[in-house]
Amino acid sequence: MTDQVTGTLVFAILTAVLSSFKFGYDIGVINAPQEVIVSHYRHVLGVPPDDQKAVDDYASTQELPTAPYLRNPTLSPEAEEEPTASAGLVTMFWSLSVSSFAIGGMIASFFGGWLGDKLGRIKAMLVANILSFTGALLMGFSKMGPSHILIIAGRSISGLYCGIISGLIPIYIGEIAPTALRGAIGTLHQLAIVTGILVSQIVGLDFILGNHELWHILLGLTAVPSLLQSVMLFFCPESPRYLYIKLDEEEKARQSLKRLRGGVDVTKDITEMRNEREEAMREQKVSIIQLFTNSSYRQPILVALLLHLTQQFSGINGIFYYSTSIFQTAGVGQPVYATIGVGAINTVFTAVSVFLVEKAGRRSLFLIGMGGMFFCAIFMSVGLVLLDKLSWMSYVSMIAIFLFVSFFEIGPGPIPWFMVGEFFNQGSRSAAMAVAAFCNWACNFFIALCFPYIAGFCGPYVFFLFAGTMLAFTLVTFFKVPETKGKSFEEIAEEFRKKSGSTQAAKAATEMKFLRATETA
């Protein structure tokens, strides 16, 4: 199996997942410097802080900007007379600074596959990098201008970038990976995301970049990997499947495969792509509506959406939301470091899944991960409920958090992203990835928006709710999701036909018989 791993393949994959790294960095970077950025927003908007000492500390660390939009109420009698914005306005701008990223992602998630089909995978990544670089520059220079406007704009543009690559990168790395390594390589997208989150947590520490002097550099740091990746992309081979199936460039596809596979005979890959292209030519281009109306695609797309719903409604975002307060309750002196510990475990177990996914299989790992998370959620809820009566229950909750994250990254974290690409052939893959990415972003936004209210209503019982959803999703996964390890796209389609039931299978067989009769007539 190792003879299929060449230097060109490794280089192309590392280049592609730099996008995933930036995705993760942008997810996590806004959290650590929240107090510092909100303090700056207050200065920009002329809102007196709740704690005057915070202003004194802020002013002592930097020279206050002199631009006309900065109105510090303490600077002059005239400024004191000016009406100040309400504290609610600061909260609104901060909420937009966080949520605008997800809104941008939702909008752009429909365009990743389309852009990849129009321009090719490599050129599409280059064009997307323009968005990444622009967003990073806006945030990097936000301290010099109306920071709230520049950060919201920068986060929105970065969200557009991440929405595009959330579909584009799994497509590219899935298409260049050898069949035997497709699962392991597919998990690298998620591994790069969680690595980006961890790095953002570390560099966001107060003594590194998460302070009053350097927070803007922290936000704009993704400009560096954007430039690096743009240069590296010029040396990456285009997807052979794109070249052959979309452009009918067999010779270019063969050359690209030879670069990716080294001296290995690529006849088998070419034959598989030829069969897939012939099948795609018999089909009309698949639209998003057809994914749900055509019986051949309906079950795969519903299962794909199920996997992404499971990932988002597992409660993983709630874990990160609750982790700091639980660590504080447990008496951890620096809960921020414990939260970084959660991020480190997140990364380590995603790396573990890279090695397990081709041995245990996608479906098995997904079910193991969900089962483990189910029990961890119960223990976490019990720990939270009994926290007031038994102080040591906080440690039960802490251990449950670490195990919950571990099980998530073994299965439900990385697997949904690349399994969607395995469910569909070339003609329908882009539309399917767009729908799946939109579903993921929409659920992410919904949970980010509603979780504080759900947690406020349910209190310490909130994770019992997530345990119930995970049990339901686990049962549906067991009966509906096929194993895709080591199988071609045609074999996976046959698995779906088997799981769809004898009636639909018979109908599909009749349709195929009719089509063959029509072709020979």
pLDDT value at residue 512 = 40
Q: ∠ at Cα 286 (284, 291), nearest 5°?
A: 135
What does the chain come to in residues? 521
Give Cβ neighbours of residue 35 (< 8 Å, ≥ 6 apart): none
pLDDT value at residue 324 = 65
Asked if 166 contacts 17 with a C-beta cutoff of 8 angstroms, the reply is no
pLDDT class of 371 with cuts at 50, 70, 90: very high
Q: Which two tokens stand for residue 378?
A: 């119960």
Helices then strands (H, E): number in the chain? 25, 0
What CA–CA distance (Å, rounded) separates 242 from 250? Answer: 10
Alpha helices by DSSP H, listed for 177-222, are 182-203, 215-220
pLDDT value at residue 140 = 94
Asked if 445 contacts 106 with a C-beta cutoff of 8 angstroms, the reply is yes
Domains annotated for the chain, with CATH where assigned, are: 7-50+84-236 (1.20.1250.20), 292-486 (1.20.1250.20)
Compute the CA torsion angle 145, 151, 154, 157 (nearest 10 deg): -140
Compute the CA torsion angle 224, 229, 231, 232 (nearest 10 deg): 140
Average pLDDT over residues 330-352: 81
SS3 96: helix
Q: Residue 146, CB half-sphere, CA atoms under 13 Å: how many?
A: 9
How many percent of the chain have pLDDT more than 90? 31
DSSP 407: H
Q: Which two tokens stand for residue 468?
A: 């119930």
pLDDT tens for each residue of 372-383: 999 999 998 888
pLDDT tens for each residue of 36-46: 888 888 888 87
pLDDT value at residue 213 = 92
What CA–CA distance (Å, rounded) separates 100 from 89? Answer: 16
pLDDT tens for each residue of 66-102: 332 333 444 444 444 343 446 778 878 888 888 888 8
Give Cβ neighbours of residue 37 (< 8 Å, ≥ 6 apart): 30, 94, 97, 147, 151, 215
Asked if 306 contacts 453 with a C-beta cutoff of 8 angstroms, the reply is no
pLDDT value at residue 363 = 87
**Average pLDDT for the chain:** 81
Compute the CA torsion angle 96, 100, 103, 104 (nearest 10 deg): 160
Asked if 139 contacts 151 with a C-beta cutoff of 8 angstroms, the reply is yes
pLDDT tens for each residue of 204-256: 988 999 899 999 999 999 999 999 999 999 999 999 999 998 898 999 999 99
Q: Residue 400, CB half-sphere, CA atoms under 13 Å: how many?
A: 26
pLDDT tens for each residue of 395-423: 888 888 889 989 998 888 888 877 887 88
**Greatest CA separation for the chain:** 91
Average pLDDT over residues 32-60: 66
pLDDT tens for each residue of 434-467: 888 889 888 888 887 777 778 778 877 888 999 9
pLDDT value at residue 226 = 96
CA distances in angstroms from 321 to 65, 244, 344, 382, 452, listed in the order given: 34, 46, 16, 18, 9
Q: Would you call 195 exposed, middle or buried from its count of C-beta atoms within 10 A (0-12, 13-18, 19+)?
A: buried
pLDDT value at residue 156 = 94
Alpha helices by DSSP H, listed for 283-392, are 288-293, 295-312, 316-329, 335-360, 362-385
Q: In 3D, which of 237, 273, 267, 330 has the Cα closest to residue 9? A: 237
